[in-house]
Each structure stands twice: as C-alpha cells, then as structure tokens.
Amino acid sequence: MKLPPSAKKAITRHISRAVERLDPARYHQEPVYVAALFARLDQVVYEGRDLTIEFKSTVVDDRGPRSAESVWGADFGIVAMVRTLGESVAKAAIGQAKRGNIGSLVGVERERFRAQVIKMERATTATLALEVPTIAGELPQIRQVFSREIPLSPDKISATHLYNDLIFPRDLREPSVILGGRLPLDDYICRELIYCLHGDRRQSFVQALESSTLATLSINVSGRIAEQANEADEAR
C-alpha cells in the first residue's frame, strides 16, 4: 500500500522533530529512550482530504519477571493499522533497542542480544533491532534481525566476526543471528510496515502485543489511498 509523497514527508518531518528534542546522553537505558521517543510521537501526523495518519503510543515501564521483555525478549513493539475502502490490514513487529552499532557489541552484551533475538523469534518472525543514536538529532536506525544455523568450527572464529553483521553464539550448537541492513525509523515505517512488506499479520499476535507490557507505537492509517493522490503529489 503506497503512501502519497506528502504523507511520507509528514511522517519524516514528525519523527525528525521528535528526535531533535531527545538527547541520547540523558537516557542511560535504551528502553527508556525508546519510551520517551514513542511518547513524543503521539500525534495526528497527517490529515489530508482522503487520508489520516495518527501515531499512538503506549508506554509501560513494567520490567519485572512477567513483563513482555522477559517473556518475548523484546522491549518495544510497533503496530500498523491500515484501513482503506478496499482493505483493512493490521500488522505488528517486536524488537530490542541497543545503543549505537549493534554489530559492535562484545562479550556478555553480545551474547545476551543474540539470546533475546532467539526468544523474540519464538513469538514472531517480525523481529527488529533499533539502534539508539549516540549523537543528538540523529534518527534511530531499524534493522531486521533473524537467526540461522551457520555451521562453524572454533578454529574459524576470528576477531573480525565481532564487527560484521553476524553474531555467532558462544555455544556453537546454538543459532547465529544475522543483522539486516539499516533503515531510518521513518523509512521503515513508510516503506516496510505501512507498505505491507514487513510485519506479522496474525490477529492473535497483534492482539497479544496490544495488551502486552511493551512500549508500543501504533500507526493508524485510515481513508483512501488513491492513485490520483499520488500523481497529484508527484506533480508538485
């Protein structure tokens, strides 16, 4: 489902303004940064003649033994609700937030992230990582993450593997984790989630996420997305 250019520009502008007001140095824990970001994004982002886009945030700071983080391995969720005259689609994804380049994690933190991805995949295939920026004003980057069985003998593991897009397990019988390419948060929302290329459409999963203790950003798109609107925007 393709958004008109004016709607995409509105989403990018809205996210950029929210990020500008967040200094990552003030947030020592990544989930706290994500919760603050989602709270600032809560607003009607675009309101056109035939199309409305609204961001709604749910921020819950439950980090206990029964929290969604402990059950799913995730600390945030993103839900897209797209309603047009022709169809209605609900999709969701869950993820883990880490500061800076996830590929540069080392030691216990690296293995912990790998284990969290494995845990997230028990709930859904729509698993993400959010790289929290280290400089104020930079957009968070979204990476799709997934596990794979990659046969590897101990003598083939070298220090170079610490900084590429593969996270190997300490126990070589366990799956490795692959880090996908980076997309700025606005591009992920417009090109992947709303555009129907990514996300888990199972109603049971969407409902479970909406009732969970995760910080969640819901993106509600309603109205008519027409080719005429796209053409009119592109002509401007």
Is residue 81's pLDDT more than 90? yes
Q: For the residues 84-100, what does the mean pLDDT come to?
A: 91
196 pLDDT band (50/70/90 cuts)? Answer: confident
232 pLDDT band (50/70/90 cuts)? Answer: very low
Interval 18-76: pLDDT, tens: 999 899 989 989 999 999 999 999 999 999 988 999 999 997 755 554 555 556 889 99
Q: Which residue range(s) make up the domain with 190?
A: 5-235
Is residue 172's pLDDT more than 60? yes
Predicted local confidence at residue 231, as pLDDT: 40
CB 125 within 8 A of CB 200: yes
Q: How far is CA 187 from CA 92, 200, 205, in A?
A: 16, 18, 24
Q: Sheet harboring 141-148: ordered strands across?
A: 43-47, 51-58, 215-223, 76-84, 88-99, 127-132, 141-148, 176-184, 166-167
CB 131 within 8 A of CB 102: yes
Is residue 131's pLDDT more than 90? yes
Q: Which of 3-17, 127-141, 218-232 has the lowest mean pLDDT?
A: 218-232
H/E segment holding residue 216: strand 215-223
Is 62 in a helix, a strand, or coil? coil
DSSP state of 200: B
CB 182 within 8 A of CB 141: yes
DSSP state of 213: S
Predicted local confidence at residue 114, as pLDDT: 94
Residue 75: which of 86, 65, 85, 61 has the closest Cα?
61
Alpha-carbon torsion (141, 146, 147, 152), positive or negative: negative
Interval 213-229: pLDDT, tens: 889 999 999 987 654 34
Residue 189: which of 221, 215, 214 has the closest Cα?
221
Q: What is the pTM of this model?
A: 0.86
Helix, strand, coil fractions of the chain, as percent rounded to 5? 35, 30, 35
Token pair of 150, please?
Answer: 């990659």
Please report where in the chains the tokens 């794979």 appear, as a residue. Answer: 148
Considering the chain, what is the average pLDDT of its residues? 85
Q: How far is CA 208 from CA 56, 60, 91, 182, in A?
A: 17, 15, 12, 27
Is residue 168's pLDDT more than 50? yes
160 pLDDT band (50/70/90 cuts)? Answer: very low
How many CB atoms are located within 10 Å of the residue 208 CB? 18
The count of structural domains within the chain is 1
233 pLDDT band (50/70/90 cuts)? Answer: very low
